[in-house]
Amino acid sequence: MMMLLPLRTVLQRSVSRSCCRGFSVSPQTYNSGKKGLILGVYEKDKEEESLVFTSAGDTFDNVVSGKLRDHLTRSGSLVKKGKTRIFYGLHEDFPSVAVVGLGKKSAGVNHDEHWNESKENVRTAVSAGCRQMQDLEIAHVEVDPCGDAQAAAEGAVLGLFEYDELKKKKKKVVSTQLYGSHDNEAWQKGALYAEGQNLARYLMEAPANHLTPTKFAEVLEQKLGKVGSNVKVFTRSKTWIEEQQMGAFLSVAKGSDEPPVFLEIHYSGSPNAKESPLVFVGKGVTFDSGGISLKPSSGMDAMRGDMGGAATVCSAIVTAAALKLPINIIGLAPLCENMPNGRANKPGDVVKARNGKTIQVDNTDAEGRLLLADALCYAHGFNAKAIVNAATLTGAMDVALGSAATGVFTNSSWLWTRLQEASIVTGDRVWRMPLFEHYSKQVTESALADLNNIGKYSRSGGACTAAAFLKEFVTAPHWAHLDIAGVMSNKDEVPYLRKGMSGRPTRTLIEFAARLSKDKSST
């Protein structure tokens, strides 16, 4: 049981205020070696008079003899959705208490927005509270499950992530744990989902001179080495790629001095070793300069994140293995740089993919589809129950949907439904896009080869012609291509992610795999 505190002066501050007027004691006095506590509060429904705490909030308020309610009410009681207020000195064990706004208790699934708003609200509120604690340099924080321990853990772990590995001055480490003893399993699950996404963010944010194809494979080998013996990692070299006759992938890789890698991961979690696997494929261009069709230099640094497809699918497998999901998953990641050296692809060059189809490379900056063509051919050798590829494939995807949702091009309504259901839960949304014959016609007309790597009307429907190109390498009945170029990075659209590479939609991929592992009818 928690100790009751003698009455103390309570210091309160709204986070939106930048100055410290009204403080008689510096917050640091309370912080040394002490814990912080984050508690949720709902927005009042009109007819209700009093504040609506979460059950953890109620418990805490009882322990402090109603003082939290008292102070909140006296100060106007409003804690808006996603905003925080800090109270100092309420309880000896928790010198700093952040009250975070959860919005309406009745929110639930919002069918217009295609996501679970309650879960999003919890993620946003908890992440804001955790960051506030981090700014106050409080090292240990207990978190109210806010009615959804998984979402709370996701908010905490995602909200605190920052890539500062290469800086001397780093953000203070904050350890978070669940307040109260319930729902620990859901909390742990949320932490693993978020750590999966953070691994993808880490890989995407890392500069291209640090995160080469070789290094990418090493990081994954190291991460997967920790999760158990039922994971095998094959780091295929250039010689293997040549033997496989992956001429399209190789044509991109040879434009760089950095050797390519074809990373192949096998996670065998199903009790039935022979069960058909889910196959994930991810575009792994560790830097995309555009090649001879060179990109403009402004903003080119963001192309270190052009391995986001590989990062998200591989990170999802790391989490699937950590969760011990009863499913077999194979991850395939063609990794290379797209650079303009003397051996680089030239516009008009014709290359041959693994399945024998020839491709006229009219634009060397449409390289992702060349890597994926070969990887998709290879993916067909595993009798997959579904093939899902992710790629930061086209700027046109960003033009179409921005960062609201990942574009999904699929030949399977069964697969679409499962991806969409998963994304409503995770809040990392997907939106279905067309695979019309209309677009296929535009890539199957080529002066010199079977296919052209850009659409006939180059800019129009660019995300759709890219998807139509990939479809030329697919015969499997359940395939989905996720164009994640629009969701690659975050400015401030997703409030529980800081600015930078987003690692989206890793959690949706994990949730999708988790649901598939329970759905035995799908085998």
Out of Mg ion, Zn ion, ligand BES, none, what residue 374 binds, judged by CB under 5 to 8 A for its kind, is: none
Instruction: By CB under 5 A, tell whether 337 contacts Zn ion.
Output: no
Which range in 234-242, 363-371, 446-454, 489-497 contacts Zn ion by CB under 5 A? 363-371
CB atoms within 10 A of CB 121: 28
User: Smallest distance, Å, CB 188 to Mg ion?
Assistant: 39
Interacting positions 365-424 with Zn ion (CB under 5 A): 368
Instruction: Give the whole-angstrom CA distance, residue 37 versus residue 144.
Output: 8
Work out the angle at residue 407's Cα, subtended by the Cα atoms of residues 405 and 411, and round it to the nearest 5 degrees: 140
Out of ligand BES, Zn ion, Mg ion, none, what residue 372 binds, judged by CB under 5 to 8 A for its kind, is: none
Active site residue 123: no
C-beta of 288 vs 362, nearer to Mg ion: 288
Q: What residues have CB less than 8 Å from 480, skipping those under 6 apart?
A: 386, 387, 388, 389, 408, 409, 410, 412, 415, 416, 419
User: Smallest distance, Å, CB 368 to ligand BES?
Assistant: 5
Instruction: Give the whole-angstrom CA distance, residue 19 versus residue 22.
Output: 9
Out of Mg ion, Zn ion, ligand BES, none, what residue 454 binds, judged by CB under 5 to 8 A for its kind, is: ligand BES
Q: What residues have CB less than 8 Å from 98, skipping those under 6 apart?
A: 36, 37, 38, 39, 84, 85, 86, 87, 129, 132, 133
Catalytic residue among 35, 354, 369, 429: 369
Structure tokens at 180: 């109260």
Name the DSSP class of 338.
Answer: E
User: Smallest distance, Å, CB 437 to ligand BES?
Assistant: 19
Work out the angle at residue 432's Cα, subtended by the Cα atoms of residues 429 and 438, and round it to the nearest 5 degrees: 155
Instruction: By CB under 5 A, tell whether 284 contacts Zn ion.
Output: no
Structure tokens at 427: 């809040």
Instruction: By CB under 5 A, tell whether 483 contacts Mg ion.
Output: no
Work out the angle at residue 74's Cα, subtended by the Cα atoms of residues 69 and 79, and round it to the nearest 5 degrees: 65
User: Smallest distance, Å, CB 6 to ligand BES?
Assistant: 58
Out of ligand BES, Mg ion, Zn ion, none, what residue 363 binds, judged by CB under 5 to 8 A for its kind, is: ligand BES
Instruction: By CB under 5 A, tell whether 428 contacts Zn ion.
Output: no
Site string for Mg ion, 358-377 (x = CB under 5 A): -------x-x----------
Closest residue to bound ligand BES by CB: 395
User: Smallest distance, Å, CB 303 to Zn ion?
Assistant: 7
Catalytic residue among 83, 254, 295, 515: 295
CB 508 within 8 A of CB 428: yes
Instruction: Give the whole-angstrom CA distance, residue 78 versus residue 62.
Output: 20
CA-based nearest residue to 465, from 479, 451, 486, 450: 451
> Which one of 61, 117, 205, 288 is in contact with Mg ion (CB under 5 A)?
288
Name the DSSP class of 253.
Answer: H
C-beta of 311 vs 488, nearer to ligand BES: 488
Instruction: By CB under 5 A, tell whether 308 contacts Zn ion.
Output: no
Instruction: Give the whole-angstrom CA distance, residue 89 versus residue 26.
Output: 11
Interacting positions 123-182 with Zn ion (CB under 5 A): none
Residue 48 three-state SS: coil
Structure tokens at 51: 């504040």
Closest residue to bound Mg ion by CB: 365
How close are the terminal C-alpha atoms of the chain, in Å? 49
Contact residues toward ligand BES (CB under 6 A) are 288, 306, 363, 365-368, 392-396, 398, 454, 462, 485, 488
Active site residue 295: yes
The residues that are catalytic are 295, 369
List of residues contacting Zn ion (CB under 5 A): 285, 288, 306, 368
List of residues contacting Mg ion (CB under 5 A): 288, 365, 367
